[in-house]
Amino acid sequence: MNLIIDVGNSFVKLAVFEQDKLIKAYKVLSEDVLQTLRIIRKEYKNIDKAIFSSVGKLKKADVAYLHKYYKTIVLNHETKVPFKNLYSTPKTLGIDRIALVCASVQQYSNKNVLIIDAGTCITFDCITSKNEYLGGAISPGIQMRYKALHHFTANLPLLKTEIPKNSIGVSTVTSMHSGVVKGVLHEIDGAIQEYRLKYPDLTVILTGGDTNFLSKQLKSSIFANSNFLLQGLNFILQYNTH
């Protein structure tokens, strides 16, 4: 069994896999990681391998615990991956994006794929049917946009995400919801259409924390999978330990 840990900007996700099957997933704050690791070790005694990717930072005690009890891989730019990286600055490519591309290679081999990760940031990653990673785009996520409107202005409030009832906002609050949410939707739909001009057979994956919120509202045809990154990490672990 495998233990997968994704340290994001906002939360830490942990998951237990039996080969390719996701058995259980956890979503915790960084201060709760060690306690969760102890719970997992007690409940799943057959785990022998682990991998973690860290956009945020994993505490030294957490890392020490992993290395003490499991054969542990720390995902970095030296880790062997099953695709050709054509990014002009490969060492700056986020390891979360590397994991997403690996999930695509495993699940959608020989296809042109656009992976959209809607989390703290929104990332777009394109990999071709020839297993060549081209790059993509990075833009602010939904919460970051709401916070920016509040932080960089004198009078705009800090709002929670809400689906706008109309495109035309009739108040400051409804105008903000329309600007943020509709703006993100138009951005994603527009990006998909642009990529499809080059790759008409494009497969589109939507993942990340805002997957469920966005998937119901997008006009484009997509596959929604909130666990795509965890699956990619699991694949990397298997790829490097078999």
Residue 241 lies in a domain: no
Does the annotation place 110 within a ligand binding site? no
Instruction: Measure Cα distances from 39 to 5, 28, 43, 68 in Å.
Output: 14, 13, 6, 15
Is 39 within the bounds of a domain? Answer: yes
Q: Report the number of distinct structural domains present in the chain.
A: 2
The answer to whether 120 is a known ligand-binding residue is yes
238 lies in some domain? no
The string of pLDDT tens digits covering residues 98-114 is 999 999 999 999 999 99
In one-letter notation, the amino acid at residue 3 is L
pLDDT recorded at residue 10:
77
56 labelled ligand-binding: no
Q: Does residue 8 have a known ligand-binding role? A: yes
The structure tokens listed for 22 are 């996701």
Whether residue 125 is found in the same domain as residue 70: no
Give the domain-ending residue among 21, 39, 74. 74
User: Is residue 61 located within the same domain as residue 95?
Assistant: no
* 96 flagged as catalytic: yes
Which candidate in 32, 48, 62, 96 is catalytic? Answer: 96
Domain containing 170 equals 84-232
Per-residue pLDDT in tens (0 to 9) along the chain, 242 residues: 999 999 987 789 999 999 999 999 999 998 999 999 999 999 999 999 999 988 667 888 999 999 999 999 999 999 999 999 999 999 999 999 999 999 999 999 999 999 999 999 999 999 999 999 999 999 999 999 999 999 999 999 999 999 999 999 999 999 999 999 999 999 999 999 999 999 999 999 999 989 999 998 998 889 999 999 999 999 999 999 97
Question: Where residue 219 sits, what CATH number does that domain have?
Answer: 3.30.420.40
| Residue 6 in marked binding region | yes
> pLDDT digits over 125-140, tens only?
999 999 999 999 999 9
pLDDT in the model for residue 55: 66
- Cα 240 to the center of its chain, rounded Å: 21
CA 187 to chain centre: 18
- Pair (62, 120) in one structural domain: no
The CB-side HSE value for 106 (13 A sphere, CA atoms) comes to 21
CA 79/CA 134 separation, integer angstroms: 18
Mark whether 11 and 65 lie in a shared domain: yes
The pLDDT value given to residue 57: 78
Partners of residue 26 on adjacent β-strands = 14
95 annotated as belonging to a binding site for a ligand: yes
